[in-house]
Structure 1
Amino acid sequence: MHPFQFKKAFVVSAFLLGMSSMNAQDGLVNSLKVNASEKSVESFKFTDVINLANTSIKNQGSSGTCWSYSTNSYLESEMIRLGKQPVEISQVFSARNAYLEKGKNYVRMHGAVTLGDGGELHDVINMYKKYGAVPQEVYTGLNYGTSKNKFAEMASITQALLAAVVKNPNGELTPNWEKAYAAVLDTYLGEVPKTFNYKGKSYTPQTFAKEVVGIQPEEYIEFGSYTTEPYYEKTMMMVPDNWSFDLVYNIKMNDITAIIDHALKNGFTVAWASDVSEKSFSWKNGIAYVPNKNYEDMSATEKENMFNGPKQELDITEEMRQKAFDNYQTTDDHAMHIVGISKDQTGKEYYIVKNSWGASNDYKGYLYVSKNFVKYKTTAFLVNKAAVPNDIAKKLKL
């Protein structure tokens, strides 16, 4: 582990991808504000190289649904790329269906699998394939008077319900536990419509997905990077929130940015999952990079100025990346949407990243993330397979 890594204990244990602890978003955002620099936005001068079309910034509220917000944002950009009029896809519809499937897996695994409301990028694709999609206006998930997601109470109840099912007090499970579990989800999030009207036409979730959204689930593939597994083959994504045990293509570290760059240059955006609990990730300033100096070795002035202008970065190796992952220093924290490339005043390139925490930071909901940070901290990313460079696609036998 490079000594630059520093974790707050609650982040490591509670803030898995999609923020599995309900209050973790507020806690993490507040902790990241500690690292803010007052004059960061004045000290960076960004010039866009590529900035692909994407829909408006959203706010996931107090819910562990970043994986759904980011991937549905990605699908909305895919609609634009395909020449369609984008529609805001219900993020909570995807999440609600994933919670239902996750509950079934939890019981089948005798409780030995992650529950919570975190998830992975592929969950949205899998739920789209099985359940379809609906517009956000049809299924908001705000079923009890809140203006934003607030899932803590629901999560406590579903956790207790499923724990009771796993204990199997009758010695044999009844078929009613699934109905009871679904009823809790419906009570808090709303019942899923079997049919609905959109722009004067009647749809089911399946017909809406096919006729309006129009993406093909089989066209989307997910990547990870582990030195411990064979390259260019599928392997298990070894993170707790991979409750569905999906496989990802294992690629080399430098392939991460090679694929993302190729995708962006050819009009494809990217759904991205990463560790974001580093001292060098500032939501307030909208900057993430890999400093070349141990945070604890920095002077007070250096810490104060971490985000006041471009800084020299640490060179990243595959061994360093793997060690950080194995030591829990790279954790499956958050999912976002990469929509472009920008250069700072020194010519260094950053990815333009769309977040789902509202528009409260210096860049109105977006961040600039260095390529070294992406190489080091990426846990997974998802793209249309047509966005993969030919040389890598051949190795993957796509």
Structure 2
Amino acid sequence: MKYTFSILVAVLFVATNLTFAQDNLVKSLDSNQSINSKEKFKFTEIINLENTSIKSQGSSGTCWSYSTNSFLESEMIKQGRKPVELSPIFTARYVYVEKGKNYVRMHGAVGLGDGGALHDVINMYRKYGTVPQSVYTGLNYGTTKNKFAEMASITTGILEAVVKNPNETLTPNWINAYSGAIDAYLGKVPQSFTYEGKTYTPQSFAKERVGINPDDYVEISSFTDYPYYKKFTLLVPDNWSFDQVYNVKMDDITTIIDNALKKGFTVAWATDVSEKSFSWKNGVAYVPETKYDDMTDQQKNELFDGPKPEMTITPEMRQQDFDNYTTTDDHGMHIVGLAKDQNGKEYYIVKNSWGLTNDYKGYLYVTKNFVKFKTTAFLLNKNGIPSGIRKEIGE
């Protein structure tokens, strides 16, 4: 989900995102936006599951944390609990520390940056717990939104210096220097805090107030070069922890998501958003019948002027686009519902973390074809998986 300081750098690093700086990414996505799109699409909600308020990740590549913490908030609602708006930067702070340890152990031969994966939120929740957003904002130096470029430059410099091993033997102090630099920007994590009149630690808050079981969650993807219904290591740069995910057939992606939504479960979603047919401003994503490079100028100008026919997607196309870097691990979002357009085509309702600045005030409508084609991974409560597929994967 590598820091970007310009649109050019955003393009160069597209293959390893879920780390884009939001401001530059948004600017790079909407060259084909339409001023009439909202008038031309008529959406009718089929399922719209309860979720918490739209957030903005600011100039940070923490979409993976915003989206999956939003997912956990909806899980609380599903369980009948009063939702707590959780701190995505609490999660990110611990990921940065763990990623730094991994970077040093791997002698620098692994990715850095803001990036992370959906499973990172579950892993950090299991190990460190969680806290409310009101307790830990990560805004420790006068800003009103995340702005991580300076911190990233400094912490990267520290780790690169450590890996050079100037003392010929690493001291135990490097981790204190690295963690201290992170805390200087994000603030120290509270050992205990009071929320609604009760004192908690991050671990006790996770157990008593949030109440989810991290063992209830599985991550899934689909590729033709691994056995189906088995686990494999997802080979994307932001899988710095080398976690494994289940491999299912391509059509299973939407079958699983549909079943989850019908049972009241939302879904955390990692995907490619570098496509010309993904418009943040217009809040629509689909797979055009004609490839963008083969379109006429008129077709390009009308990309989002109402529903269009879509290309038929195959598992082989999906695999090919991943292998040739056309599909890249760009962004994490939160699927919260299902809708149909005026022609009856179904779209997922997707919650984003880029604020309220698009046509649908922070939400998007994404076709099932797009999700089949461009999903890199998704995470959900295993109770939302159809029984047959759940039996196949052994969960």
Residue 243 of structure 1, CA deviation: 0.2
The residue matched to 2:98 in structure 1 has which SS?
Answer: helix
**2:174 paired with 1:181:** no
Task: Report if aligned partners of 2:222, 2:249 keep a CA contact under 8 Å in 1.
Answer: yes
Task: Report if aligned partners of 2:22, 2:57 keep a CA contact under 8 Å in 1.
Answer: no
What are the residue-to-residue correspondences of 1:25-174 with 2, within 5 Å? 25-174=22-171
Question: Whole-Å Cα distance in 2 between the matches of residues 300 and 163 of structure 1?
Answer: 47
What are the residue-to-residue correspondences of 1:210-225 with 2, within 5 Å? 210-225=207-222
Q: How many residue pairs were aligned?
A: 389
1:287 corresponds to which of 284, 288, 296: 284
Residue 15 of structure 1, CA deviation: 3.8
**2:296 paired with 1:299:** yes
Question: Whole-Å Cα distance in 2 between the matches of residues 147 and 12 of structure 1?
Answer: 27
Residue 48 of structure 1, CA deviation: 0.3
Residue 297 of structure 1, CA deviation: 2.1
What letter matches 2:373 in structure 1? Y
Deviations 1:126-185 (A, max 9, x none): 000000000000000000000000000000000000000000000000000000001001
Question: Whole-Å Cα distance in 2 between the matches of residues 154 and 126 of structure 1?
Answer: 23
Question: Whole-Å Cα distance in 2 between the matches of residues 204 and 17 of structure 1?
Answer: 34
Q: What is the TM-score normalised by the length of structure 2? A: 0.97
CA RMSD of aligned residues (A): 1.1
Deviations 1:28-63 (A, max 9, x none): 211222120110000000000000000000000000
Paired residue for 2:228? 231
Paired residue for 2:3? none
Distance 1:321 1:9, change over 3 A: farther
Paired residue for 1:3? none
What letter matches 2:198 in structure 1? K
Residue 11 of structure 1, CA deviation: 4.0
1:246 corresponds to which of 243, 264, 269: 243
The residue matched to 1:99 in structure 2 has which SS?
Answer: helix
Question: Whole-Å Cα distance in 1 between the matches of residues 362 and 118 of structure 2?
Answer: 20
Paired residue for 1:14? 13
Distance 1:67 1:17, change over 3 A: farther
Paired residue for 1:195? 192
What letter matches 1:353 in structure 2? V
Question: Whole-Å Cα distance in 1 between the matches of residues 355 and 15 of structure 2?
Answer: 20
Q: What is the TM-score normalised by the length of structure 1? A: 0.96
Paired residue for 1:5? none
155-164 or 29-38, larger mean C-alpha shift:
29-38
The residue matched to 2:235 in structure 1 has which SS?
Answer: coil
Paired residue for 1:391? 388
Question: Whole-Å Cα distance in 1 between the matches of residues 210 and 17 of structure 2?
Answer: 24
Residue 12 of structure 1, CA deviation: 4.9
Task: Report if aligned partners of 1:289, 1:369 keep a CA contact under 8 Å in 2.
Answer: yes
Paired residue for 1:315? 312
